[in-house]
Amino acid sequence: MYEMLDIAHVVADLSNVTGEVGTIPVTGTPDVTGTTRAMRTPVVGRFAPTPSGRMHLGNVYAMLAAWLSARAADGRIILRIEDIDQPRVLPDADRWIMDDLTWLGLTWDGEPVYQSQRLDRYADAIRMLSTLSSSTSCSPSVSSATVTADHLTFRTNAIYPCFCSRSDIRAASAPQEGDGFVVYPGTCRRLLQHNPDETRARLEHGDQHSLRLFAPNRNVQFTDRVFGSQTFNLAHDLGDTVIRRADGIVSYQLAVTVDDLDMGVTDVVRGRDLLRSTALQLYIREQLIASGWLADNNCDDSDDSDDRDLSERSDSTVASASVDEVSDNAFVEVSAATSVGVPSFAHLPLIDNAAGKRLAKRQRSLDMGVLRARGVSAHRVIGYCAWLLGLLAQPEPCAARDLIDHFSWERLAANRSDRRVPDDPFADFVGSDDAGAH
Ligand code: GLU
Q: Is 348 close to ligand 1, i.e. is its CB under 6 Å away?
A: no
The amino acid at 321:
A
**Rounded Cα distance, 329 and 172, in Å:** 35
Name the band, by pLDDT with cuts 50, 70 and 90, for residue 9. very low
pLDDT at 68 over 80: yes
Give the domain 37-121+216-348 fold.
Answer: Rossmann fold (3.40.50)
Q: Is 176 close to ligand 1, i.e. is its CB under 6 Å away?
A: yes
Q: What is the pLDDT of residues 47-57, one digit of tens each?
A: 999 999 999 99
Q: At what angle do helices 93-104 and 57-71 cross, to 10 degrees?
A: 60
Any residues with CB less than 8 A from the CB of 298 and at least 6 apart, and which?
262, 310, 335, 337, 338
pLDDT at 107 over 80: yes
354-420 — its CATH code?
Answer: 1.10.1160
Domain assignments of the chain as residue spans, ordered by start:
37-121+216-348, 354-420
Q: How far is CA 245 from CA 117, 148, 213, in A?
A: 18, 18, 12
Residue 329's CB is within 10 A of a number of other CB atoms, namely 7
CA of 259 from ligand 1 middle (Å) equals 12
Give the mean pLDDT of 389-410.
96
Q: Is 343 close to ligand 1, i.e. is its CB under 6 Å away?
A: no
Give the mean pLDDT of 69-87.
97
Q: What is the pLDDT of residues 271-315, one digit of tens each?
A: 999 999 999 999 999 999 999 998 865 444 333 333 322 222 232
Distance of CA 138 to the CA centre of its chain: 23
Ranges assigned E (strand) in 166-313: 210-213, 218-224, 228-233, 241-244, 267-271
Ligand 1 binding pocket mutation candidate from 46, 114, 252, 260 (most atoms within 8 A of CB): 252
CA of 108 from ligand 1 middle (Å) equals 16
Give the mean pLDDT of 258-283.
96
Ligand 1 binding pocket mutation candidate from 270, 278, 285 (most atoms within 8 A of CB): 270
Q: How far is CA 310 from CA 135, 301, 412, in A?
A: 23, 13, 39
**Rounded Cα distance, 93 and 91, in Å:** 6
**Nearest residue CA, atom 5 of ligand 1?**
48
Three-state DSSP class for residue 304: helix
pLDDT at 220 over 50: yes
The mean of the pLDDT values for the chain is 79
Judge whether 66 and 7 are in contact, CB under 8 Å: no
Judge whether 349 and 227 are in contact, CB under 8 Å: no
Q: What is the pLDDT of residues 122-176, one digit of tens each?
A: 999 999 999 886 444 444 445 567 888 888 999 999 999 999 976 655 555 444 4
Dump the DSSP string for 284-296.
Answer: HHHHHHHTTHHHH
pTM exceeds 0.85: no
The amino acid at 396:
E
pLDDT at position 431 is: 63
Residue 134's CB is within 10 A of a number of other CB atoms, namely 18
**Rounded Cα distance, 224 and 347, in Å:** 7
